[in-house]
Structure 1
Amino acid sequence: MSFHMEFGYPREAEIAKKEKWPILIPIGTMEYHSAHCPYGCDTLVTMGIAREIAKKIDAIVFPPVWYGVASYAVGGPEKNTIQVDCDTFEAYIYNILKSLFRSGFNRNIYLLITHQSEDYLPMTLACMKAAKKLTFEYLDETQGIGWWGNNANKDFYSNLSATENPWNWVRVIRCSAVAAGYPGDHAGIHECSSLEYLYPGSIKLDRLSETDDWFAESAKDTSVKWGEERITKIVDTIVGIIKE
């Protein structure tokens, strides 16, 4: 049965480790989301997605990373966004993952991101770089320098399964990009509908009049039904990726 690591115990952790349960780590930000949407939106949505995934399969939901590479693209420091430097963030994620690898949780790790869904932007890239850097270091340490070029590994690719493929040991999932037809936005209808579905009462539509933020205009059409449909599609898609 799935559990949250902060409420976990050694017995359950060792079972999960032995059976290679997926590890879900929500990655988020504390970022300005206009007048009607909370600062923790990005993190809260990924937490909700992780929670829903864990209802469908055995998984460990780890505590979220609240402070991320938010950037000041939406608003400056006066908007109360907390921005973490990309290189600093990468080092932090690297050390989290390294601790997991050292403990024996070195497969089936999923970093869930909803922030900046348009492309592979700094926070996503930082997570990806941290994961690949650690994977190569781990392979060098456990299989020796030159492991890939060793003739003993000539069947490396033909023997790979999705789970055993080292490039899949840590996967960075852009949640808003995995489900076709269910795009992301920033404090608009998609994000607000998702958050309101996951955390009823979290969106304050009566406060939209307090701002003229263009990116928030579509939030007036926030729909719990749409949020449920969108989150369900994202969750089902990620579960499918995990089961590959």
Structure 2
Amino acid sequence: AEHLPVGMDTLAVERALYEYEKIAEIVILPSFYWGASSRAVAPCEGRGSIPVNSQALVPIAREIFRGLLDVGFRNIHTIIHHQSEDFNAGMPTDLAFRLASRQVIMEFLEEKRGDGWWGDPSSASYYEDHDNLDANPFIWIQNHALMDAEVLAKYPFDHAGEGETSLMMSLCPDTVNMDEFDKSAWYAETALKASKETGDNGVKMILDHFRRILK
């Protein structure tokens, strides 16, 4: 929607992580701006969206993940906001990154540990210690929505409506221009109820979510 900035979904994640970085020891990698945005909301011509086929995202994500594993990272997290309201089922962008992460981890383990690595007695604690990075290498790379179910139960999720507009008012207020609000956009009509207070509350819940997942 025209009242919010280009790249709003990425900005929301970036700025929330910057806030979390103030209270936690994390490494924030450069944002990946390209995604399978689709043409579902509006035509791309003259609008700003640049949809990338999700199949093209998989090899890029694979290379990034493999590089991080080779460097030695074993606690990697991606966070996405775009189309993440039904994250358990997934949408093209997050599914591309999820597939890439699983493929790369499996290939990395087979290369480093050989065939039968999981059946080896050294993996015996896999189930009982499933949340441990040493016991379960499949959590070396995890993919998350910016807002999990706990946040979504309390905060409005939308496309350029009250929820997203409030987030921008809180995280980067200089990017919001309500003079450009399009009253004909049904999906954004609740934006008129947006406020910095609502956004601040949303950011607080997101930071609590980060505390749960970024360990």
Taking only the aligned residue pairs, the percentage that are identical comes to 32
| TM-score, normalised by the number of residues in structure 1 | 0.80
1:83 aligns with 2:48: no
1:123–1:35 CA distance, 2 compared to 1 (3 A): same
Written as runs of structure 1 = structure 2, the 5 A alignment for 1:72-221 is 72-78=39-45, 79-105=47-73, 107-119=74-86, 120-164=90-134, 165-178=136-149, 179=151, 180-208=153-181, 210-221=182-193
User: Which 5+ residue runs of structure 1 have no aligned equivalent?
Assistant: 1-33
How many residues align? The count is 208
Identify the structure with bigger relative contact order (alpha carbons < 8 Å, sequence gap 6+): 2
**1:177–1:184 CA contact under 8 A, matched in 2:** no
Equivalent residue number for residue 55 of structure 1: 22
Question: Segments of 4+ in structure 1 off by > 6 A?
Answer: none
Equivalent residue number for residue 28 of structure 1: none
Equivalent residue number for residue 232 of structure 1: 204
| TM-score, normalised by the number of residues in structure 2 | 0.90
The one-character-per-residue Cα deviations of 1:174-207 (angstroms, maximum 9, x if unpaired) are 1123423124211111011001110022111122
Separation (CA, whole Å) in 2 of partners of 1:118 and 1:160 = 26
Separation (CA, whole Å) in 1 of partners of 2:171 and 2:24 = 18
Amino acid paired to 1:45: A
Amino acid paired to 1:132: R
Separation (CA, whole Å) in 1 of partners of 2:99 and 2:26 = 24
1:108–1:153 CA distance, 2 compared to 1 (3 A): closer
**1:117–1:185 CA contact under 8 A, matched in 2:** no
**1:140–1:147 CA contact under 8 A, matched in 2:** yes
Secondary structure of the residue aligned to 2:173 is coil
